[in-house]
Amino acid sequence: MTTYHEMDALVLKGVRDFSIERVSIPVPGDDEVICKVDTTYICGTDPHIIGGDFPGFWPTAFPFIPGHEWSGTVTVVGAKAAALGWREGDRVCAISHCGCGYCSMCLKGRYNICLNYGHEERGHRQYGHYTPGAYAQYMRTSVKSIFKIPDEMELEYAACVDPLSIALYTVKRSRMEPGDDVLILGTGPQGLMAVLCAKALGAGRIFAVGNGDRLNKAEELGAVPINYRNDDVLGLLRQFTEGKGVPAVLECAGTAASLQLACLAASKGGVISVIGIPHTDPSIPLKRMVLDEVELVGNRANPNTAQEAIDLLVNNRIDLHPLLTHRFLLKDFKEALQTFEDRIDGAIKVAVKPNEMD
């Protein structure tokens, strides 16, 4: 059990106003544990939270500690958590969502859309969004949001289970069958992980739409690259599919243009599985979607796919190492964030190490 009382943490005090400060290490509730954080990856949502793009929602107030793609080691165990079998020394990775456990959505296993979202007094949490997160030396979390990892898996590697399991959920929600063509719009970290998940689940051809170094990375991972800046994307897809379109479309870019393209690129009876969040609602070809029975499915986070993602990693069905490009100390978070946002030196997944020193 740790005997420290304070820790270093990234404290967000306002829009793009943050610093590393000493704060109190939290005390766990009955069904919670305290973990010593090994690695926290910068998620694509983090710059938006830091940049004030969700005012009053993510976070609900300042000061705030963000960060939600993390792994670590259990150091303190609450009473109920201990009764459930959690022990000091357990090596874990985490997801951001923690449902209340009692509402009708949670009882269906859809805790990602818990009816008590935002009400911590009713048991809901979303770590790193409105509940304190993991850009800190220690992290308090419900045991509902952590997963044990095997001894042979490095903690730094396991910290990517959260985004990988989101990509896996997005692929599964497309109802892709083995051998199906898959179209992935967007080659950011989420799109690249979707390439890996689709490949692991037996996709046929995987078409990836993007540009630059990240599109090249998608090709290295096995996708057919299409450059939206230079190519007639829809024309090429029709050529590749003999005019039929693609049965499984994964929208990972989150732009109005990409969502419109997804609706036109899907085959008759196709499914568009959306994880990107556009800043404006796009105009979609609803007549075409009705007459051709094209489904548009929204996805939020990763309910019930984290353990599956761990198993895919353990069994070497997915290799994330090509995506893990940079690592920084917590004190260098400003540089880490700039590296991620500006894609410096081909940055894809940027790790922050809260407990490593110079």
pLDDT-wise least confident of 22-31, 191-200, 276-285, 298-307: 276-285
| CATH architecture, range 164-298 | 3-Layer(aba) Sandwich (3.40)
What is the mean pLDDT of the segment spanning 120-139? Answer: 98
Amino acid present at 54: F
Q: Within 10 A of 16 (CB to CB), how many other CB atoms are there?
A: 12
Spatial distance between the Cα atoms of 119 and 142, rounded to a whole number of angstroms: 15
pLDDT in tens, 56-81: 999 999 999 999 999 999 999 999 99
**Residue-level pLDDT at 358:** 79
**Residue-level pLDDT at 235:** 97
pLDDT at 218 over 60: yes
pLDDT at 168 over 70: yes
pLDDT at 280 over 90: no
pLDDT at 2 over 60: no
| Bridge partners, 7 (sequence order) | 23
pLDDT at 253 over 50: yes
170 and 275 in contact (C-beta within 8 Å)? Answer: yes
pLDDT at 3 over 60: no
Q: For the domain covering 6-160+320-353, report its CATH number.
A: 3.90.180.10
pLDDT in tens, 83-92: 999 999 999 9
Q: Within 10 A of 144 (CB to CB), how many other CB atoms are there?
A: 19
The answer to whether 6-160+320-353 and 164-298 have equal CATH topology is: no
Spatial distance between the Cα atoms of 294 and 296, rounded to a whole number of angstroms: 7
pLDDT at 1 over 60: no
pLDDT in tens, 14-25: 999 999 999 999
Put residue 8 in one of left, alpha, beta given phi > 0 → left and psi -120 to 50 → alpha: beta
What is the mean pLDDT of the segment spanning 300-307? Answer: 98
**Residue-level pLDDT at 331:** 98
Q: Which of 316, 306, 94 is nearest to 196 (CA)?
A: 316
* Per-residue 3-state assignment (H helix, E strand, C coil) for 109-123: CCHHHCCCCCCHHHC
Q: Which helix (H) or strand (E) holds 33?
A: strand 32-41
What is the mean pLDDT of the segment spanning 329-341? Answer: 98
Question: Domains of the chain: which residue ranges?
Answer: 6-160+320-353, 164-298
Q: What are the distances in angstroms from CA 39 to CA 93, 111, 264, 326, 351?
A: 9, 25, 40, 12, 6
Mean pLDDT, the chain, whole residue set: 97
Specify the pTM: 0.97
Confidence of residue 333 (pLDDT cuts 50, 70, 90): very high
Confidence of residue 4 (pLDDT cuts 50, 70, 90): low
Long-range contacts for 331-337 (Cβ within 8 Å, ≥24 apart)?
331/8, 331/20, 333/10, 333/18, 333/20, 333/135, 334/18, 336/42, 337/42, 337/46, 337/47, 337/50
**Residue-level pLDDT at 11:** 98
